[in-house]
């Protein structure tokens, strides 16, 4: 993308009265942006690639808000007279209309960038932002609860829950703002395309939990994906804090040598120059680097020592007191502790949340337990890496695993996931677009393994997978929906897939008149 103008002060740049604003995407982010800009006195047009008949819920939520609509496509004439183009997270900047906007010098933004810019201009904060390839939502939710446990009113948004852009007037100075940010949102933090000066519009506390292959169906390569994540750290103001994993190859490379516990970054990712440039930038701005590690002790930050979670050497809690399942959630807890402490939470508040927190929906969520069968909803597992974490949270020596895997591929490697299935799963049910591919890969991998291939079946839809699992499962069985693929082959998002799974499970159990069922959640 070509560089656009960024002159002007922040105060002047954030005046929107009588400006012409074009918003792409009529989802929750687009709706929040529309409400904000209308309240600011702007002239607002919303464009969505879907036709009106597929947007009935969104149009109902829009109500009688005075905006212009352009549905069923993004015609280039919408850019005529446009002062600012705002993208919802699901809209890639590579589409022709966005490229044409950049060519014309029209600035780009989104709800998260505007939220941080406006929060800075109004003196709000502390501002906290969290990104990563996995664990974002759980960690963000934990941070919100840990800060709230100190007695403060906390505002959580961004890629989680409800956007904050149209609710900023309700936020008072001293009330923490916690944002989850995706790579899609962070793409527009690049000053080459961003609206307004954003060189120091970042949060006071930022965290990158990990950077592993993800969303390579949208990002052309790992360098592009990592660079989007790095935009969060590139925008930190002088003296801000960056919380980074010592166990992840990419984030560990940004830490001092003595705080690194990960191996080298794979050379095929071609991140060397990006990492070096960011290291120099962080040092030049005096950014405080705080590590966290589940794998080894640290001199500072948060880490696991035997059975004890520690923060700056002070005990948080014992591992057996944590109610979250899986090693990956221990890492999320340690990250949340380091982030929350940097934003002003006490160890006592952090410890209280660490002991009571039971998780976020669709993340290893217990849907039902009946006749010795446990049904687990891990619909958030939209990449093989996340699905691997789900599998590893169960003891396959103690429990029989039936895995429901599939969905839509994101152009990621499935090899390690297939090996985990061979070693841990008794019955694999593939569904959706990627289902047959996963089954084929598992059966091929088993030919060269010391473990026998699991029983396998392929179905088209999730309801068929649940029905087959219900017929097969016996006492001591865990039925795990941990797909590895996105939901977009059949559902609007992973939440919709998880909700459908819940419904299907309870329908199956009710139909069979199973006695003694204990529903959870």
Q: Show the tokens assigned to 317.
A: 């809690």
Question: Residues annotated as binding site?
Answer: 132-138
Q: Show the tokens assigned to 226.
A: 């990592």
424 burial level (CB within 10 Å; 0-12, 13-18, 19+): buried
Cα-Cα-Cα-Cα dihedral sign, residues 182, 414, 465, 55: positive
Q: Beta-carbon neighbour count of residue 458 at 10 Å? A: 18
Instruction: Report the distance separating Cα 378 and Cα 498, nearest Å.
Output: 7
Place of tokens 């080298």: 264
Three-state secondary-structure class, residue 404: strand
Question: Residues annotated as binding site for ATP?
Answer: 132-138
418 to 215, 248, 385, 415: CA distances (angstroms): 19, 22, 11, 5
Instruction: Report the distance separating Cα 389 and Cα 387, nearest Å.
Output: 5
Residue in 265, 269, 168, 154 with CA at minimum distance from that of residue 221: 269
Containing 222, the helix (H) or strand (E) segment is helix 222-234
Place of tokens 């090899």: 415
Residues 410, 216: contact at Cβ < 8 Å? yes
Q: b vs e for 50-87, b when ≥16 Cβ sit within 10 Å of the residue's Cβ?
A: eeeeebeebbeebeeeebeeebeebeeebbeebebbbb
Per DSSP bridges, beta strands 308-311 and 302-305 are antiparallel
The region, left, alpha or beta by phi > 0 then psi within -120 to 50, assigned to residue 446 is: alpha
* H-state helical runs in 23-173: 28-39, 56-62, 96-104, 111-121, 136-148
Omega before 126 cis (within 30°)? Answer: yes
Residues 414, 433: contact at Cβ < 8 Å? no
Phi first, then psi, for residue 167 (nearest 5°) are -125, 15
Instruction: Report the distance separating Cα 452 and Cα 423, nearest Å.
Output: 8
Cα-Cα-Cα-Cα dihedral sign, residues 460, 462, 468, 474: positive
Q: Show the tokens assigned to 82.
A: 């446009």
Place of tokens 């923060």: 311
Instruction: Report the distance separating Cα 315 and Cα 302, nearest Å.
Output: 10
> What's 393's DSSP letter?
T
Q: Provide the CB-side half-sphere exposure for 457 (13 A, CA).
A: 18
């Amino acid at each position: 993308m070509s560089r656009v103008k960024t002159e002007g002060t922040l105060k002047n740049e954030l005046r929107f009265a009588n400006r012409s604003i074009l918003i792409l995407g009529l989802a929750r982010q687009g709706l929040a942006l529309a409400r904000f800009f209308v309240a600011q006195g702007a002239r607002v047009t919303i464009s969505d690639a879907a036709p009106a008949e597929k947007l009935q819920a969104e149009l109902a939520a829009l109500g009688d808000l005075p905006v212009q609509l352009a549905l069923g496509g993004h015609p280039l004439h919408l850019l005529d007279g446009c002062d600012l183009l705002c993208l919802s997270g699901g809209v890639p900047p590579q589409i022709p209309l966005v490229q044409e906007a950049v060519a014309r010098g029209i600035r780009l933004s989104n709800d998260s960038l505007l939220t941080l810019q406006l929060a800075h201009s109004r003196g709000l904060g502390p501002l906290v932002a969290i990104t990563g390839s996995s664990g974002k939502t759980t960690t963000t939710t934990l941070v919100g609860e840990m800060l709230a446990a100190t007695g403060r009113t906390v505002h959580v948004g961004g890629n989680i829950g409800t956007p904050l852009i149209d609710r900023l007037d309700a936020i008072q100075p001293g009330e923490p703002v916690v944002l989850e940010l995706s790579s899609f949102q962070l793409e527009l933090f690049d000053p080459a395309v961003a609206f307004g000066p954003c060189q120091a519009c970042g949060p006071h506390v930022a965290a990158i939990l990990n950077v592993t292959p993800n969303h390579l169906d949208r990002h052309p390569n790992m360098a592009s994906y990592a660079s989007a994540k790095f935009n969060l750290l590139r925008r930190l103001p002088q003296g801000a804090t960056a919380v980074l994993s010592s166990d992840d190859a990419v984030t560990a490379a940004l830490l001092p040598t003595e705080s690194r516990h990960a191996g080298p970054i794979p050379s095929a990712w071609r991140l060397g120059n990006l990492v070096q440039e960011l290291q120099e930038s962080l040092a030049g701005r005096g950014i405080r680097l705080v590590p966290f590690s589940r794998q080894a002790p640290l001199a500072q930050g948060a880490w696991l020592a035997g059975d004890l979670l520690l923060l700056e050497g002070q005990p948080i809690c014992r591992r057996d007191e944590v109610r979250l399942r899986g090693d990956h959630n221990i890492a999320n807890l340690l990250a949340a502790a380091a982030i929350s402490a940097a934003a002003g939470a006490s160890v006592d508040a952090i410890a209280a949340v660490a002991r009571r927190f039971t998780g976020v929906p669709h993340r290893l969520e217990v849907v039902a337990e009946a006749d010795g069968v446990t049904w687990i909803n891990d619909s958030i597992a939209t990449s093989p890496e996340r699905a691997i974490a789900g599998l590893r949270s169960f003891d396959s020596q103690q429990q029989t695993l039936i895995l429901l895997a599939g969905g839509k591929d994101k152009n990621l490697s499935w090899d390690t996931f297939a090996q985990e299935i061979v070693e841990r799963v008794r019955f694999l049910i593939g569904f959706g677009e990627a289902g047959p591919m996963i089954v084929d890969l598992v059966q091929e991998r088993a030919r060269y393994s010391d473990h026998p291939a699991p029983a396998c079946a392929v179905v088209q839809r999730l309801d068929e997978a649940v029905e087959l699992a219900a017929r097969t499962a016996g006492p001591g069985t865990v039925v795990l929906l941990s797909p590895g693929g996105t939901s977009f082959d059949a559902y609007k998002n992973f939440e919709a897939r998880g909700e459908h799974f819940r419904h299907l499970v309870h329908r199956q159990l009710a139909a069979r008149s199973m006695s003694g069922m204990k529903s959870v959640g």
